[in-house]
Amino acid sequence: MSDLLGFAPVEVAARVDDRAWLQAMLDVEAALARAKARLGLAPADVAEAIASRCDVARFDVDSIAERTLASATPVIPLVEDLRALVPGSAAEFVHAGATSQDIIDTAVCLIAKRAIDTIVHDLVSCSDRLAALADAYKRSPQIGRTLLQHAEPTTFGFVCAGWLVAIDQATTALNRVRDERLAVQLGGPVGTLASFGDQGAELVSSVATALGLATPVMSWHTDRSRIGELAGALGITSGALATVALGVGLLASSDIGEVAEGRPGGSSAMPHKRNPVRSVLVTACTHRVPGLVASILAAAPGELQRAAGGWQSEWPTVTDLLRLTGSAAVHARVMLAELRVDTERMAANLEQVGETVLAGLTADQHVAAAEAWIDRVLHARL
């Protein structure tokens, strides 16, 4: 599926596209069937018959998407089609006892978990590269700019250390959400899982273990704090990446010229242009994130036992958040990996500024102060 305007690399888009979503829902149905079998709530061969059909390649995505409009949930056509695929005797066990929100919320968590794994991988690459830059340029002086005015000297390594800390904080936030907050949702129609009698809690726990998700203390149909925290962590990540991209874009501007992207972009009109393309891509992706986080938070208050519209709006919004943050992480990784640093221009710019900015200290004292913090950051990271 092409993504002409959103700047998502193909592999990032694929992680959260319609096929990925349907597969995640099928993974939940399969895990549910098997958990029932483990608890004696369904025959083992029935569970396997169901689980073995839970492969998106067997389903018609376009048809399911179209039929979704009749019920406002993709789970109804998906379950219909899954029931049609299994042997007659197994059909009644498909999805039984669950409600569509159970499948979708658990699928969101699965999708998010898989996406976060990759995003964190990209963030760690960014961070490792920034650590190397911080170390390499720890004593490379550069004029600091506050409100875009020349301020006092810093070093480029210090700037990279600041970016590094922000990205590591984002990584921590994402990992925490993944490990503690992405959970199985399983409550049945009104959250009580009544049709499973006294085996409800055990069933939830069994599905959670199988899918590698957390076990909630009870169903969370109208407690959207898990999704809100996911959105928040993606918002933090996006902000950290955007800060790096803005910094690179400004430092790479023609009038500053202290860094450059390794593969700048061309222009359709001006052959001499060396556009900071990856910086632009990161900025374009991350700019869209805050409004989407607000949309998620605004959807939190749901009507009694199931929201009539707000919850449904979460699905594509979380999808966008994962795709955009994931894309920004990829572009930032490439931007940093290929970044060129021009210490001569840094020195020349600093020299032009004059001595006023030294604030009574020597240039070496400024550098030494920067270096001490960099060492502290790099040490804390080990």
Supply the residues annotated as catalytic. Answer: 267, 306
Terminal CA-CA length for the chain: 41
Question: Whole-number minimum distance, CB 346 to a second copy, in Å?
Answer: 12
CA–CA gap between residue 212 and residue 288 (Å, rounded): 30
Among 127, 140, 206, 295, binds a second copy (CB under 8 A): 295
Residue closer to a second copy, measured from CB, 44 or 348: 348
With 0-12 / 13-18 / 19 or more C-beta atoms within 10 angstroms meaning exposed / middle / buried, residue 40 is: exposed
| 5 touches a second copy (CB under 8 A) | yes
Residue closer to a second copy, measured from CB, 44 or 294: 294
Binding mask 316-335 for a second copy (x = CB under 8 A): xx-x-----------x----
Among 14, 128, 136, 288, binds a second copy (CB under 8 A): 288
Binding mask 228-247 for a second copy (x = CB under 8 A): xx-xxx-xx-xxx-xx-xxx
Question: Whole-number minimum distance, CB 280 to a second copy, in Å?
Answer: 4
Site for a second copy in 188-227 (CB under 8 A): 188-198, 200-201, 217-226
Residue closer to a second copy, measured from CB, 121 or 263: 263
Give which of 294, 312, 295 is closest to 303, Cα–Cα. Answer: 312
Among 18, 48, 81, 338, binds a second copy (CB under 8 A): 18
Q: Which residues pair with 341 in a beta bridge?
A: 259
Which helix (H) or strand (E) segment holds residue 20: the answer is helix 18-38
| 36 touches a second copy (CB under 8 A) | no
Q: Which residues pair with 145 in a beta bridge?
A: 150
Q: Are 167 and 126 in contact (CB under 8 A)?
A: yes
Binding mask 255-274 for a second copy (x = CB under 8 A): xx------x-xxxxxx-xxx
With 0-12 / 13-18 / 19 or more C-beta atoms within 10 angstroms meaning exposed / middle / buried, residue 198 is: exposed
Question: Whole-number minimum distance, CB 146 to a second copy, in Å?
Answer: 4
Residue closer to a second copy, measured from CB, 52 or 192: 192
Backbone angles phi, psi at 41, to 5 degrees: -95, -5
Residue closer to a second copy, measured from CB, 212 or 310: 310
Q: Are 99 and 189 in contact (CB under 8 A)?
A: yes
**Residues near 269 by beta carbon (within 8 Å), at least 6 away in sequence:** none
Among 132, 136, 210, 369, binds a second copy (CB under 8 A): 369
**What token pair was written down for 249?**
């874009």
Residue 197 DSSP one-character state? G
Question: Whole-number minimum distance, CB 302 to a second copy, in Å?
Answer: 6
Which of 14-22, 37-45, 120-128, 206-214 is the region at the interface with a second copy (rule: CB under 8 A)? 14-22
CA–CA gap between residue 326 and residue 304 (Å, rounded): 34
CA–CA gap between residue 314 and residue 311 (Å, rounded): 5
Give which of 131, 76, 64 is closest to 100, Cα–Cα. Answer: 76
Site for a second copy in 84-143 (CB under 8 A): 95, 97-100, 103, 143
Question: Whole-number minimum distance, CB 176 to a second copy, in Å?
Answer: 9
Question: Whole-number minimum distance, CB 189 to a second copy, in Å?
Answer: 5
